[in-house]
Structure 1
Amino acid sequence: MTTTIAGQVEELRAVLAEADIGQHPGELVDLLSGLEALKDTACAPQADAAVALDAGRRLQEAELGVPARRRGRGVASEIALARRESPNRGQKLLSLAKMLRTEMPNTLARSRAGELSEWRAMVLARETACLTREHREAVDAELCDDPATLAGVGTGELVARVRSRAVELDQGALVERAKRAENERRVSIRPAPDTMCYLTALLPVGQGVAAYAALTKDAEAMGMSGDPRGKGQLMADLLTARAAGLDLPEPADPAAPPGTGTGSGAGASTGTRTGSGAGVGVQGPPAAPDVPGPPAVPVTVNITLSDTALLAGGHDPALVGADGVPPQAVPAAVARLLVASTLDSTAAAWIRRLYTDPGGQLVALTSKQRFFPRGLGDYLALRDAGTCRTPYCDAPIRHLDHITPVDADGETTSENGKGACVACNHAKQAPGWREEVPDRPTHTRHTVRTRTPTGHTYYSVAPSQPGTQHRPAGQQGPASGARDPTAEDRAA
């Protein structure tokens, strides 16, 4: 029988994977409850392991003479890879683990007992982060010392209780936290279903309410004046037009031929598999004849689709993205509408041809320069679909990184280059990290092998290009993700 905790976990996983769950309703409910408690309990040793890994790594790097400010730089990324999370999430999990171990012992105890989820523990830590250690320990004791205190309490109510208690303990700390929060105002974007996206603004409450009220008031006024668009459509179009400094499209002339539009959006570069693509503007499918579409936006947006999808009615999905915005897949029919709407307008449009081999690998480019030139940088961004190549990281590309560093004779080539976010590029500079491009069969996609200081190995395979036939994993090399370290890996 396995004696290590890691081995016991593997044995338990094997038992659960083959378990007969039965059919009796009462037993099924008990199973659901027990498994949920098991998940919550597992978070406690995960926190213990994260803190121990961080402490051990910092001690090891101190012995190696690494400056104090750089010790532990890659630990959060190691945790993220092990837990199949993004590096940003890995840093949050490490911070939570440290806080639970040092300042919130009762919260950790409730997790260890299977009574508190990791998310709810993170909520408790987040809402008390502005308090002193003494006050945080007081809130931790009041809410988590007795298990009955949290019985039946929803997450929203839990947040309200913590905030109320925090105000009683240190109102000034919350005021200072609100002031600091203003410096965190930002705008972000993420994909939404049906070729849409969420554009989110984090604003101080006063500005946010004022902006929403202004959009609401003007949209209602336009609706009362006979505009056929709904209130939500008008608010969205007003927001887009005002943010981009454009005129809002007017309702179409009822006498105009069906399908008459209001112009299209941005110029964009597109790529193809074996032939040419087309530069296109960003515009949704044609709206109803009497309802104008979204306003045209003069920003470059890349739409990458295969020649067959563009010219021969193919069904290969296309990719739509922009600088700093990871692409998302859209149906070929939608991409063709985007192309048509732009070519029918006065928006700038151009064609950029890209070529791939039968395995979907883009044609390589080379350069003698120390830094990646613009053309090669564009190539890497297209090959890596605008997203950091670290497994599980969804951050947009911010750095063009040499897989084998230049000081180790790494070349500035497409084969030795990859897109990375800032955090992942910095993490690999920590002692013990190593990246390389392994040998792979011909016509397989670009692959990066990462070895962490513990000897664990992770692979990242470049996304397949539009129009590329998806092949079984065995014909494409290893899938992105983790592989247990072998003796060969550790020796290397």
Structure 2
Amino acid sequence: MKSKSPTSNSVHEYIDDQRFRGHSNVGGCCLDGLMPGTLELPTHTALQFELASIAAFEGMLRQLHADQYRRIQRARELAAEVDGVTASSTTRERDMATRSFVAELATTLGQHEASAARLVTEAERLTGPRSATLGALGAGELSLTQLRSVLELTQAVPAEVADAVERVALDAAAAAEAAGGASTNAEVRRRMRQVRERMHPEPLADRRARAASERRVCVEPAPDGMAWLSMFLEAERAIAIDHRLDVLAAREASGDSRTAAQRAADLAADLLLGGALPDDERTRSGLAALTGAVQPRINVTVPVLTLLGLDDEPADLEEYGPIDADTARRLAGHAPSMRRILVHPETGVALSYGREHYRAPSDLDGFVRVRDGRCRFPGCSRRADRADLDHTTAWEHGGQTADANLAALCRRHHRLKHESGWRVAHEPGGVMRWSSPAGHVLRTWPERPFVPVRAGEGADPPGTSGSADPLPPPPPPAFGDRFDDEWRSVLEDAAEPAPF
């Protein structure tokens, strides 16, 4: 394809001169056929063209998102037919069909069930009472973030309030388009909140009291040995805390090279851990060493050579992941007690109780939970110590209480396994093979694939190979052996799903 001479003065001259086939208008931007990747244009003109291209692609993405929502709703209706849901079905049967479809969608997209559940809920509302918002998204008038603001602020309010709030966003988008501009999400949210608060029939004080019951502290792992600690609490308390930290961090301290942000973070940690500040003479004498200020009960899996200082292999901190050897040794040094798990015939750890016991005894229970680490359903990351121990082959069908027949499943996926079309089987090495109602096959790997050590064998020195069974191959990214090749390109990493 020839490009316009650099002497061209405008994008319009370039387009008029080239006349591509297949004129299209997407998201308010006109394109004639496929756009070339590189243009020989004056810098300013080329910049205009690229910005127009970016806007056109944004319009295409909005149209695709709108079409995806419609197809998600259609797929949900088809899944309900497959599951035999009819007008006479019970609430429980409808709920289980929805859960099964959410799991099907999550594993199809390689997403968490929380993300898939949100898509399903959004699709239902956008093809129902909020269909005008979906139409605006498809026409390129609303962005995806604005659409989700509409969904958020029209939830749990009377229909007339929801319609008025939605109308604010649609009118703002139409006015911006007529003026040749764009309405930002912040502007639209501010207007919608004003209308919502003015028209809401329930007093704000009552709604705030109910929302305050959901206050909590959250930890989100971050790279490089760091983590985000956040709190969801009343707005005035959050602002007061932030202000107090700013005031404390602004105090002059000779020789302190930390930034104000670093001082504020350190002060918050000192106050939460010890209840006092280490540089405050009035309380300093009563403040224990940082590691002794609290004694949290956490699980740290430490390689024995690392614990002895003979190796620096990373340890594993439950709910976070790899931590450095020095931190692991420091945590182990302050631990009030330890629990060891050794897979060896001479340790007395029983890995099977046959048909003698239905409930796994404590040593077997602990082994399975530490081995699995998380719920073993594809994509679920709920902690194993908060999950059920499930007999893969049911006890009433002859299943044994053994490590090869037990797995950690959170209550939601435990029920899904027993009450829907999902099926699972154990494979060697602790691998679990799941089959979805649509026929997709997925595998999950244990978090810690313990390798049995036979009698008479010991640990080999570092750098040598012994006679013990080799470690199974590490699990592949995401969920492992996926469906068909056409699905592999849509996989993403997993994270903590929320309850339904």
Task: Judge same fold: TM > 0.5, yes or no.
Answer: yes
Write the mapping of 1:282-361 to structure 2, written as runs, cut at 5 A: 296-311=293-308, 314-321=311-318, 326-330=319-323, 334-340=324-330, 343=333, 348-350=336-338, 352-355=340-343
- Conservation of the 8 A alpha-carbon contact between 1:380 and 1:417: yes
Q: Which residue identity does 1:404 align to in structure 2?
A: T
1:99 equivalent among 116, 125, 130 = 125
- Per-residue Cα deviation, 1:114-159 (whole angstroms, up to 9, x for no partner): 4544443222101121322233233323422674446533332222
Structure 2: gaps of 5 or more residues:
1-33, 40-45, 282-286, 451-461, 463-469, 487-500
2:410 equivalent among 421, 427, 439 = 421
Give me the whole-angstrom Cα distance separating, in 2, the residues matched to 1:479 and 1:100.
30
Instruction: Return closer, same or farther for 1:145/1:208 CA change in 2, 3 Å cut-off.
Output: closer
- Conservation of the 8 A alpha-carbon contact between 1:139 and 1:165: yes
Instruction: Return closer, same or farther for 1:28/1:214 CA change in 2, 3 Å cut-off.
Output: closer
Give me the whole-angstrom Cα distance separating, in 2, the residues matched to 1:422 and 1:117.
37
Instruction: Return closer, same or farther for 1:338/1:131 CA change in 2, 3 Å cut-off.
Output: same
Question: SS at 1:160's partner residue?
Answer: helix
Question: SS at 1:188's partner residue?
Answer: strand
Aligned to 1:446: 430
Match status 1:71 vs 2:94: yes
2:425 equivalent among 406, 429, 436 = 436
- Per-residue Cα deviation, 1:296-315 (whole angstroms, up to 9, x for no partner): 32112222233344446545
Match status 1:187 vs 2:195: no
Query: What root-mean-square deviation, in Å, do the aligned CA atoms of Structure 1 and Structure 2 show?
Result: 4.0
Aligned to 2:375: 388
Question: SS at 2:127's partner residue?
Answer: helix
Instruction: Return closer, same or farther for 1:478/1:51 CA change in 2, 3 Å cut-off.
Output: closer
Match status 1:55 vs 2:77: yes
Write the mapping of 1:235-314 to structure 2, written as runs, cut at 5 A: 235-242=268-275, 249=278, 263=289, 265=291, 296-311=293-308, 314=311
Match status 1:203 vs 2:229: no
Instruction: Return closer, same or farther for 1:154/1:328 CA change in 2, 3 Å cut-off.
Output: farther
Instruction: Return closer, same or farther for 1:418/1:144 CA change in 2, 3 Å cut-off.
Output: farther
Give me the whole-angstrom Cα distance separating, in 1, the residues matched to 2:159 and 2:56.
33
Instruction: Return closer, same or farther for 1:168/1:262 CA change in 2, 3 Å cut-off.
Output: closer
Worse-matched range after superposition: 168-177 or 185-194: 168-177
1:32 deviates by 4.3
**TM-score (ref. length: structure 1):** 0.68
Give me the whole-angstrom Cα distance separating, in 2, the residues matched to 1:65 and 1:379.
45
Aligned to 1:270: none
Q: Which residue identity does 2:365 align to in structure 1?
A: G
Aligned residues: 402
Structure 1: gaps of 5 or more residues:
1-18, 253-260, 266-294, 357-362, 487-492
Instruction: Return closer, same or farther for 1:415/1:157 CA change in 2, 3 Å cut-off.
Output: farther
Match status 1:232 vs 2:265: yes
Give me the whole-angstrom Cα distance separating, in 2, the residues matched to 1:115 and 1:430.
43
- Conservation of the 8 A alpha-carbon contact between 1:187 and 1:201: yes
**TM-score (ref. length: structure 2):** 0.67
Q: Which residue identity does 1:327 align to in structure 2?
A: Y
Instruction: Return closer, same or farther for 1:154/1:389 CA change in 2, 3 Å cut-off.
Output: farther
Aligned to 2:202: 172
2:59 equivalent among 15, 32, 37 = 37
- Conservation of the 8 A alpha-carbon contact between 2:431 and 2:444: yes
1:319 deviates by 0.9
Write the mapping of 1:5-44 to structure 2, written as runs, cut at 5 A: 22-24=37-39, 29=51, 32-44=54-66
Question: SS at 2:202's partner residue?
Answer: helix
- Per-residue Cα deviation, 1:362-412 (whole angstroms, up to 9, x for no partner): x99223432333333332332233x33333333333212423333443333
Instruction: Return closer, same or farther for 1:393/1:61 CA change in 2, 3 Å cut-off.
Output: same
Fraction of identical pairs, as percent: 23
Give me the whole-angstrom Cα distance separating, in 2, the residues matched to 1:195 and 1:129.
38
- Conservation of the 8 A alpha-carbon contact between 2:215 and 2:233: yes
2:442 equivalent among 433, 453, 458 = 458
